[in-house]
Structure 1
Amino acid sequence: MANGLTYQRTTTTPEATKQLAATLAPYLHAGDTIVLTGDLGAGKTQFVQGVAAALGVRAAVTSPTFNILLEYHDGRLPLYHYDLYRLDARWQLEDIDYYSAIDGDGDGAAFVEWAEKFPEDMPYDYLEIAITADGDGARRIVAHSFGSRSRQLLCVWANDSKSRLGKCQL
């Protein structure tokens, strides 16, 4: 992780997590990939819900665990929400058009949960959002950039006073 930028923030409620995510939405461009890591129930889908609402998505955003991919086209930018948890083999990524969404040339932003299951298939440039929950319901959200576009994205997001992200060393 040494080559990228790393910022963090702790939220104490699901609404605060969604509000933080909403501050990222204005800076997203077509082709951006956001990789979400964290245990089951950590708040990955809540984060996507916050971004989707800020993009103007009117549909209810739910976890794509059983669908693998849910698409939302009614916002400012198409949003592709992947959940790779139930996939067992790399070849299954072809079936869900994963590579065209994460190659940087897509028409929307791709949010990918459980991408770490296939480390050799991670995109070259992505923003990783790692979410960990404590026993009291607080969430530690750590954002790290991998690549030049994600570095730019993280810089503008972190400089938005509403995000209240703080620089950290890992």
Structure 2
Amino acid sequence: MEEQVEITNSPEQTVELGTTLAANFEAGDIICLKGPLGAGKTHFVKGLADGLGISPEEVQSPTYTLIHEHEGKLPLYHFDCYRMDSPREALEIGAEEYFYGSGICVIEWPERIASLIPAEATWVTIEEIDRKTRKFVIAQKGS
């Protein structure tokens, strides 16, 4: 599996990384964001949104609603599975329809629904190096 490693030193750089990487994704892609609370997952999604022509200010963590839908060059479906107890809950909100739809799915806390995630998904693991520095390991789909 081919991996790309990126380092950011501020939330703003994390947003910029997401903006840059957005060009690599297309309809039907699934991006799984794995990292501890406060690692920068939502900042990364703000950048992806920006790269898709969606205002980053519209992006907030969907912890309590489980999914937010945003319209841009492509639809962006932002999942937060932190509060899910089982994959069944994701099925109940129609996750599989989103996975195989016409937009890009971004999933925070994907390990909670791992059994539902297609093998071709891109995994982004975020590691906290220090208070501001983050290491992003991106395992590209199909590699």
Q: TM-score range by the shorter chain?
A: over 0.9
Q: For each residue in 1:28-47, what CA deviation from the matched residue of structure 2 results, as whole angstroms up to 9, or x when unmatched?
A: 21100000000001000000
Q: Does 1:89 align with 2:86?
A: yes
Q: Does 1:52 align with 2:66?
A: no
SS in 2 for 1:101: helix
- 2:139 is aligned to 144
Q: Does 1:18 align with 2:15?
A: yes
Separation of aligned partners in 1, 2:88 and 2:6: 36
Give me the identity figure in percent. Answer: 37
- Aligned-partner residue type, residue 47 of structure 1: F
TM-score by length of 2: 0.93
How do residues 83-122 of structure 1 correspond to structure 2 at under 5 angstroms? Answer: 83-102=80-99, 105-122=100-117
Separation of aligned partners in 2, 1:124 and 1:100: 16
Structure 2: tracts of 5 or more residues without a match: none
Separation of aligned partners in 2, 1:145 and 1:36: 12
* Corresponding residue pairs, total: 142
SS in 2 for 1:16: helix
Indicate the structure (1 or 2) with the bigger Cα radius of gyration.
1
- 1:63 is aligned to 61
Distance apart, 1:146 and its partner CA: 4.2
Structure 1: tracts of 5 or more residues without a match: 152-170
- 1:156 is aligned to none
